[in-house]
């Protein structure tokens, strides 16, 4: 199918994607793309990658039947793809392992990363420690505040964490700052982007490294269930865990797909982080995609209880999948996500991160509309240990 060939040679997914950066970065991006195209088909590189995913990350991650949640919510059977069981506790490590190996092959000695919730920062710091690379992580000053356990983890791993105080002091500003670092230190530095956004080739290569999730799921579904799932549900901030699960399923029309954005206080209030639900096409961070902007084209602040979803743009492949109608993009509120967080924790003994709690909240709505012999797989993209302080604070509980 045509799906398989995207992005095109210029990094476009239909009208989205591309490479919108200042001239200084164009040649480094071209070099990165060329190196990736060569290495991705190199058997030695693939073997090194597969070995790291098995022995260091702990793949494959289980496909777990959530029988008690299924009974509680009624309707379709809920399965969880347990990316929370990966080393470092989220899907993010799938991508950092790949990009760090790329960095090593390109002879770079320093990696930089941006992070929102801190999961990508931790995953980057982790792989930097393992490969002996210097690591600098840019993090919005507000996120440093609300994700302090992850900040400490990064420091323990030897990374330098730089709080970013410009703009809205969140993920988008951390991304700007990482791009500024890269443009300044491009000779020795590899920029490990954490999501499927940024200029080409990043949306492609971050997708490819995360697509192990969807590929595994196809095999596991066939082995365990004898068929593919009826529906996939994943949360979408930048959209890396969702695209990792969705991409291999794009040609399989029998599997419906739902990308769940952060509705914050509710999309109708304007206080949310749901560009696909309520934004419009624009250009941000090097690619054309759906963004949240005002009438003058200024990017506007986002609101979500989940730092990892608090981003005003989204990966360009999602923008394209929305326009062609292959994926349904929906949103749930902070409150709905929090309810799902508690239900999953109490019913299954699994503490999910706030990000996939959004996916769980939508699965809760979707399941009762489907038959009991149908199957929903939720990408449980990360574990919730990092969020317990945020949740306690919101619920007025002091942990000190």
Residues in the site for another protein, rule: CB under 8 A? 10, 18-28, 166-167, 172-173, 175-176, 179-180, 183-187, 281-286, 291, 293, 295-300
Tokens of residue 27, six digits: 């040649």
In the bound complex, what is the minimum distance in angstroms from residue 207's beta carbon to another protein?
A: 21
In the bound complex, what is the minimum distance in angstroms from residue 62's beta carbon to another protein?
A: 39
Q: Which residues contact 132 (CB under 8 A, 6 or more apart)?
A: none
In the residue annotation, 386 being an active-site residue is answered as no
DSSP assignment of 273-323 equals E-HHHH-EEEEETTEEEEE-B-TTS-B-----S-GGG--S---HHHHHHHH
Q: Which C-beta is closer to another protein: that of 5 or that of 296? A: 296
**What distance in Å separates the CA atoms of residue 196 and residue 137, rounded to the nearest whole number?**
18
In the bound complex, what is the minimum distance in angstroms from residue 44's beta carbon to another protein?
A: 29
Where b means 16+ CB within 10 Å and e means fewer, 201-231 reads: bbbbbbbbbbbbbbebbeebbeeeeeebbbb
Q: Strand pairing of 328-332 and 256-266?
A: parallel
Q: Which C-beta is closer to another protein: that of 131 or that of 183? A: 183
**Ordered alpha helix ranges (H), 197-258:** 202-210, 212-225, 240-246
Among candidate residues 33, 114, 177, 336, the one labeled active-site is 114
Tokens of residue 280, six digits: 């419009």
In the residue annotation, 31 being an active-site residue is answered as no
Neighbouring C-beta atoms of residue 260, cutoff 10 Å: 33
Using an 8 Å Cβ cutoff, are 290 and 279 in contact? yes
Among candidate residues 240, 306, 331, 381, the one labeled active-site is 381
In the bound complex, what is the minimum distance in angstroms from residue 21's beta carbon to another protein?
A: 6
In the bound complex, what is the minimum distance in angstroms from residue 112's beta carbon to another protein?
A: 14
DSSP assignment of 248-266 equals GGTT-TTSEEEEEEEEEEE
Among candidate residues 92, 108, 322, 364, the one labeled active-site is 92
Q: Which C-beta is closer to another protein: that of 62 or that of 282? A: 282
Using an 8 Å Cβ cutoff, are 212 and 97 in contact? no
Q: Which C-beta is closer to another protein: that of 187 or that of 395? A: 187
In the bound complex, what is the minimum distance in angstroms from residue 88's beta carbon to another protein?
A: 28
**What distance in Å separates the CA atoms of residue 3 and residue 351, rounded to the nearest whole number?**
35
DSSP assignment of 82-138 equals EGGGSGGGBTHHHHHHHHHHHHHHTT--EEEEEESSSHHHHHHHHHHHHHT-EEEEE
**What distance in Å separates the CA atoms of residue 267 and residue 287, rounded to the nearest whole number?**
24
Q: Which C-beta is closer to another protein: that of 280 or that of 349? A: 280
Q: Which C-beta is closer to another protein: that of 65 or that of 167? A: 167
Q: Which C-beta is closer to another protein: that of 87 or that of 285? A: 285
In the bound complex, what is the minimum distance in angstroms from residue 176's beta carbon to another protein?
A: 4
Q: Crossing angle of helices 43-52/92-105, nearest 10°? A: 140
In the residue annotation, 48 being an active-site residue is answered as no
**What distance in Å separates the CA atoms of residue 9 and residue 373, rounded to the nearest whole number?**
42
Active site residues: 92, 114, 381
């Amino acid at each position: 199918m045509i799906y398989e060939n995207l992005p095109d040679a210029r990094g476009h997914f239909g009208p989205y994607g591309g490479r919108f950066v200042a001239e200084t970065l164009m040649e480094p991006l071209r070099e990165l793309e060329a190196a990736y195209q060569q290495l991705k088909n190199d058997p030695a590189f693939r073997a090194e990658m597969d070995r790291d995913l098995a022995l260091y990350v702990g793949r494959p991650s289980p496909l777990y039947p959530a029988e008690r949640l299924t009974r509680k919510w009624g309707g379709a059977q809920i399965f969880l793809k347990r990316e929370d069981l990966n080393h470092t506790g989220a899907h993010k490590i799938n991508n950092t392992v790949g990009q760090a190996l790329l960095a090593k092959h390109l002879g770079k000695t320093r990696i930089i990363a941006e992070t929102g919730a801190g999961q990508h920062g931790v995953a980057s710091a982790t792989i930097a420690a393992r490969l002996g690379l210097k690591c600098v992580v840019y993090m919005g000053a507000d996120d440093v505040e609300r994700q302090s356990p992850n900040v400490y983890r990064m420091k323990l791993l030897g990374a330098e964490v730089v709080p970013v105080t410009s703009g809205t002091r969140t993920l988008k500003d951390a991304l700007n700052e990482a791009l500024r670092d890269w443009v300044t230190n491009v000779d020795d530095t590899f920029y490990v982007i954490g999501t499927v956004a940024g200029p080409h080739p990043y949306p492609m290569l971050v997708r490819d490294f995360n697509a192990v999730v969807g590929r595994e799921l196809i095999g596991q579904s066939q082995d365990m269930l004898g068929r593919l799932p009826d529906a996939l549900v994943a949360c979408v901030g930048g959209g890396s865990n969702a695209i990792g699960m969705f991409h291999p399923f794009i040609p399989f029309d029998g599997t419906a797909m739902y990308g769940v954005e952060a509705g914050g206080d509710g999309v109708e209030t304007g206080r949310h982080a749901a560009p696909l639900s309520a934004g419009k096409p624009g250009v941000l961070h090097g690619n054309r995609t759906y963004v949240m902007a005002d009438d003058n084209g200024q990017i506007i602040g986002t609101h979500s209880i989940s730092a990892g979803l608090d981003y005003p743009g989204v990966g360009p492949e999602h923008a394209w999948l929305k326009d062609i109608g292959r994926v349904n993009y929906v949103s749930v509120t902070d409150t709905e996500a929090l309810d799902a967080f508690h239900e999953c924790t109490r019913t299954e003994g699994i503490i999910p991160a706030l990000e996939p709690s959004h996916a769980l909240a939508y699965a809760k709505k979707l399941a009762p509309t489907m038959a009991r012999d149908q199957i929903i797989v939720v990408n449980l993209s990360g574990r919730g240990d990092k969020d317990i302080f945020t949740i306690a604070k919101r619920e007025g509980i002091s942990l000190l």
